[in-house]
Each structure stands twice: as C-alpha cells, then as structure tokens.
Amino acid sequence: MIPVLILVTIVSFFLLKLLPGDPAAMVLGDKASDAAIAAFRHQLGLDQPLLAQYLLYVQHLATGNLGTSIIYRTPVMELMGPRAEVTGFLVVYSMVLGILIAVPLAFAAALHRDGWPDQLVRVVTTIPLVSPTFWIGLLLLLVFSVKLHWLPATGFGESFADHLVHLFLPALTLSLSFAALLARNLRAAILDALGRTFVDFARAKGLPRRVILYRHVLRAALVSIVTIVGLQLSFAIGGAVVTETVFALPGLGTWMEQSIFARDYQVVQSLTFIFAAGTIVINLLTDLTYSVLDPRVTVD
C-alpha cells in the first residue's frame, strides 16, 4: 500500500507538468505582470529543480497541505471537508441502494433459473451496463422531478433525512450499473451455494426455506458482494464525478469539474490524488473484510 501511495504522488505531481506552458502563467492568466508570475512561481516552488519540487510536494502532502485554491484563496484541505461529505454520502448511499436492488433480483433469477424472471433480470441488468450513467440520471431527473414532481432535482439538504431525499435520485443513478453487476454475480454465487452440501444438510435438518436462503445461502454469497463492492467503489467514485454535475450536488466531483474550467489546477491535482488515495484505502478495507468473512483468506 505505501509503495503504491508513493508512486501515486509521483503521478499526481507530474499532472501539473502536463500543462502546455507555465502553470503560473496559466493560472494567473494573460493579464498578470511578469513580477506577479515570478512571485507566484516562487510561491509554488516552480523556480527550484524538479526533485526539490517533488520533495516539497510530498512534504506538503505528508503534513496534510494539499495546496491552495487560486479561486477561493483558501487551503484545499479546508474547502474539502463539506464537499467530501456529500461525495461520501452519495457513494455509500448508492452502494446501499445497489445492494437493496440487486439481492432480490439475484434471488429471483437464481431461484427461477432459465425461467422468465431469470431472462427478465438478464435483460434489465444489461441496460445500465451499456448506457451512460449521466444519461440515466437525466432520464430519472426528467421523469421523477420534472414530470412527476416527486423528488427534488438538485441540492444536498440540511438534515440526514433531507440528505436521503435529496440524494435519492443521484444515488439511484450511480447505483444502477453497480446493482446490475452485483445481481449477475450474486445470481451465480447463489446458484453455486445452492449446490453445496451445507444446503442439503440444512434441508435435512428441516430448516425453513427462508432461513436456508437468507441465513445460509446469502451468507455464503456475501463474499461476492464484498468483491463487487470493492471493485465497483473505484468506478462509483469516477461515476460520482459525472453524476454530481448532473444533479448540481456540492460534492468533490462538481468541484473538480468547476476547478478544471476555472483553471484552478492545484485543486484538480489535489482531488486526483485524494480520489486515488481513497481508492487505495478502500481496496485495503475490502481485503480486510474478506479475511473477516472467510477465515481461509489472509492479508499479507
């Protein structure tokens, strides 16, 4: 984990070097005086050798200094808190919705293997996998906000209950492709579990069908849920960037988009790093969860 994190800092460091031209001039614009640009270059440390610049960058990161937003004239770290809350809420909410959608679908498909519920689930789960997430968001917005007026179109809300209402459509948007993948994998995992001897044993004990399915089969299939959650969280974070802009949510994704167009490159660089670091932590947590769920797995 640590070596990868160090390499990630190299990638995010060099992002700023990809700018065609002098970052200081790009940030300050055409009207800036040469003296202002020189002062800004010094402030960014751009007048130092590359290695020194990189070491300074890592030193800053290690002390929680993610640079300063040119637009807000405020440290990125300070601006990030409330926005990270929105994005975190959105991503976790979408995962929960995705599981709530996928589990019944997977059971319906697995228990009626090759029957019409199975076919229907197969068709329905294809759609979110082949269409753009933001397009699904626009459709949901059109139907549930514009036409039916059931749900708010934008914003985050004030209280927790408010968040749940305001983020329902964005979270649903983000959850669908995850739910589709999860339903397919879970279906296979359930079918696999149903064929195992522990299910025969549970039946022989005379356990009710419900208990067998939800206590034993689902538990065995849990590992596949964790796998898909772990794999998809990285995708969901990417998807959140686009979904947030559709619903004008004040999260990290919208901020990243705004910063790109405002040429607030420090923020874009920091956010890219934060997204990667978050993904690394999530992957580690996934591995840890495995070892809890399945004692045969060890984390090295």
Of 28, 221, 267, 17, the C-alpha closest to 106 is 221
73 versus 149: smaller Cβ distance to other proteins: 149
Check binding of 24 to other proteins (CB under 8 A): no
User: According to CB under 8 A, which one of 172, 202, 221, 246 is a site residue for other proteins?
Assistant: 246
Rounded-to-integer distance, Cα 123 and Cα 118, Å: 9
With CB under 8 A as the contact rule, the residue among 265, 266, 289, 290 that binds other proteins is: 265
Of 195, 261, 295, 296, which one interacts with other proteins (CB under 8 A)?
261
Does position 8 interact with other proteins (CB under 8 A)? The reply is yes
Number of residues lying near other proteins (CB under 8 A): 49
> Which one of 16, 27, 194, 212 is in contact with other proteins (CB under 8 A)?
16
Window 26 to 45, contacts with other proteins (CB under 8 A): none
Closer residue to other proteins in complex, CB, 103/185: 185
171/237 with CB nearer other proteins: 237
**Out of 256, 266, 289, 290, the residue judged to bind other proteins by CB under 8 A:** 256
DSSP string, the chain: -HHHHHHHHHHHHHHGGGSSS-HHHHHH-TT--HHHHHHHHHHHTTTS-HHHHHHHHHHHHHTT---EETTTTEEHHHHHHHHHHHHHHHHHHHHHHHHHHHHHHHHHHHHTTTSHHHHHHHHHHHHHHHS-HHHHHHHHIIIIIIIS--S-SS---SSHHHHHHHTHHHHHHHHHHHHHHHHHHHHHHHHHHHTSHHHHHHHHTT--HHHIIIIIIHHHHHHHHHHHHHHHHHHHHHHHHHHHHHTT--SHHHHHHHHHHTT-HHHHHHHHHHHHHHHHHHHHHHHHHHHHH-TT----
Minimum distance, C-beta of residue 64 to other proteins, in the bound complex (Å)? 20
The label of the residue with tokens 């390499």 reads 7
How far apart are the C-alpha atoms of 163 and 158, rounded to whole Å?
7
> Which residues, numbered 123-182, are part of the site for other proteins (CB under 8 A)?
126-127, 129-135, 138-139, 141-142, 146
Per CB under 8 A, contacts with other proteins among 215-244 are 234-235, 237-239, 241-242
Quick check: 270 binds other proteins (CB under 8 A)?
no
Which of 280, 285, 286, 287 is close enough to bind other proteins by CB under 8 A? Answer: 280
Looking at the Cβ atoms of 153 and 165, the one nearer to other proteins is 153
Q: Does 268 bind other proteins (CB under 8 A)?
A: yes
What does the binding site for other proteins look like in residue numbers (CB under 8 A)? Answer: 3-5, 7-8, 10-11, 15-16, 18-20, 126-127, 129-135, 138-139, 141-142, 146, 234-235, 237-239, 241-242, 245-246, 256-257, 260-261, 265, 268-269, 271-272, 275-276, 279-280, 283
